[in-house]
Amino acid sequence: MSGTTAVRDARPGRSRRQGNPTILDVAERAGVSKSLVSLALRGSPMVREEKRKAVLRAAEQLGYRPNAVARSLVRNRTNVIGVMLSDLHNLYFAEVVDGIEAEALSAEYRALINTGSRMAEREWAAIETLLQLRTDGLILAGPVLPASLILSAAASVPVVLVARASRWPSVDSVTNDDRAGARMAVDHLVALGHRDIAHVDGGTGAGAASRRSGYLEAMRDHGLARVAAVAPGTFTEEGGAAGIDRLLASRARPTAVFVANDLAAVGALHALERHGAGVPEDVSVVGYDNTALAALGHIDLTTIDQPRREIGATAVRLLLERLDDGRHRGRHVVLSPRLVVRGTTRPPRGRSIAATPAPE
């Protein structure tokens, strides 16, 4: 216990006091070799208790912080999962990221997010950055990139697609069963007594095609193929409003509308209001995604919920399967949606309802 008479100035010239302290500074102060410091800090059982304490104390005193860059270089592994988010403004992805982070954390990985503002070029730049940083795997959430680029990324690192289907063996994917979700929406409306049910679709948006065909299938199955009507729209507020405008311009007002996502549904709500149609008295509306928007009391939208956290968690698990278990076959997971009934749907006028009829 001779105290602080450490080896200290072993190197006469430069005293190593510049920049962040390294493992060597810790070693010097603790009076051991750099290797032992490395061992001790990583909690190896091969280190004598006494030395471990000395190392920990020295590290603490110096404010030592491991250099992940150096570590990654030698280990050839970063323990980082790169997440390319096509759109930060879409709340849908926020919860997916929650799932990603939780699952990654529990496997000793960190998630780093880079975004691509819905532009293919920016998305590729984001991915390129993550690849150069040598992230161990990549999760692409809602990319609008051409498939060729996705495949080229997958050539150097495991890639999982979220909210975009993949058929390739080298790229896994996690998607929602949008077709089934659309059927749920129609089934719900039919069960309430609606027959004249229209659809405002999402154009070329992710999942829009499946939702459209799910709608058409369900209508057919209920013997309503003849009244089925699809108005073109987009996944935006304006798209939903424009869809309603077009719908009402071309035909009699339906008693219910299934809109391709929540944001567009809110646009539809507003457009219906403009056209003097009350929701839900005159027209019932169903959205899709169950975003925070739908849950607002002021909007209170019946919608289809996607298990977003689960989607994110699954994406990480798929990545880890390739990373840790060395899987090579492609896996394409499809998760099931769920109907969430709120205030924008009710039986059409003239149909009684089991519960207390609305007073007004």
Identified binder of DNA from the candidate list 8, 9, 15, 67, rule CB under 7 A: 67
Q: Which of residues 10-49 bind DNA (CB under 7 A)?
A: 19-20, 22-24, 32-36, 38-39, 41-42, 46-48
Q: Residue 46 binds what, of a second copy, DNA, none (CB under 5 to 8 Å, by partner type)? A: DNA
Q: Residue 47 binds what, of DNA, a second copy, none (CB under 5 to 8 Å, by partner type)? A: DNA
Residues 6 or more apart from 48 whose CB is under 8 A from it? none
**Nearest approach, Cβ of residue 30 and DNA (Å):** 9
**What CA–CA distance (Å, rounded) separates 138 from 83?**
6
Q: Which two tokens stand for residue 247?
A: 């719908």
User: Applying CB under 8 A, which part among 48-56, 70-78, 307-315, 319-327 lies near a second copy?
Assistant: 70-78
**End-to-end alpha carbon distance in the chain:** 86
DSSP class of 231: E
Q: 3-class DSSP state for residue 276? A: coil
Backbone φ, ψ for residue 132 (5° rounding):
-65, -30
CB 318 within 8 A of CB 169: no
107 binds a second copy (CB under 8 A): no
**Nearest approach, Cβ of residue 301 and DNA (Å):** 50
Backbone φ, ψ for residue 316 (5° rounding):
-65, -45
Q: 3-class DSSP state for residue 303? A: strand
CB 332 within 8 A of CB 173: yes
Residue 64 burial (CB count, 10 A): 20
Identified binder of DNA from the candidate list 8, 15, 61, 70, rule CB under 7 A: 70
**Nearest approach, Cβ of residue 79 and a second copy (Å):** 10
269 binds a second copy (CB under 8 A): yes
Write the CA distances from 58 to 8, 28, 45, 229, integer angstroms: 12, 9, 19, 73
Q: 3-class DSSP state for residue 193? A: coil
User: Applying CB under 8 A, which part among 23-31, 52-60, 262-270, 327-335 lies near a second copy?
Assistant: 262-270
Identified binder of a second copy from the candidate list 8, 9, 15, 20, rule CB under 8 A: 20
111 binds a second copy (CB under 8 A): yes
User: Applying CB under 8 A, which part among 2-10, 112-120, 186-194, 351-359 lies near a second copy?
Assistant: 112-120
Q: Which two tokens stand for residue 40?
A: 């001790």
In which element (H, E) is residue 323 found? helix 308-325
- Whose structure tokens read 């020295």? 58
Q: How far is CA 355 from the centre of its chain?
A: 38
Nearer to DNA, 68 or 191 (CB): 68
Q: Residue 153 binds what, of a second copy, DNA, none (CB under 5 to 8 Å, by partner type)? A: none
Nearer to a second copy, 126 or 160 (CB): 126
Site string for a second copy, 46-65 (x = CB under 8 A): -----------------x-x
Q: Return the closest-CA partner of residue 140 out of 239, 158, 264, 258.
A: 158
Number of residues this chain uses to bind a second copy (CB under 8 A):
51
Q: Return the closest-CA partner of residue 123 out of 114, 131, 112, 132.
A: 114
Nearer to DNA, 35 or 117 (CB): 35
**What CA–CA distance (Å, rounded) separates 41 from 59?**
9
Identified binder of DNA from the candidate list 2, 4, 63, 74, rule CB under 7 A: 74
**Nearest approach, Cβ of residue 171 and DNA (Å):** 24
**What CA–CA distance (Å, rounded) separates 86 from 65?**
33
**Nearest approach, Cβ of residue 86 and a second copy (Å):** 12
Where does this chain bind a second copy (CB under 8 A)? 19-20, 63, 65-70, 72-73, 76, 78, 80, 88-89, 91, 94-95, 97-98, 101, 110-115, 117, 128-129, 131-134, 155-156, 237, 241, 266-267, 269-271, 273, 292-293, 296-299
Where does this chain bind DNA (CB under 7 A)? 19-20, 22-24, 32-36, 38-39, 41-42, 46-48, 50-51, 64, 66-67, 70-71, 73-76
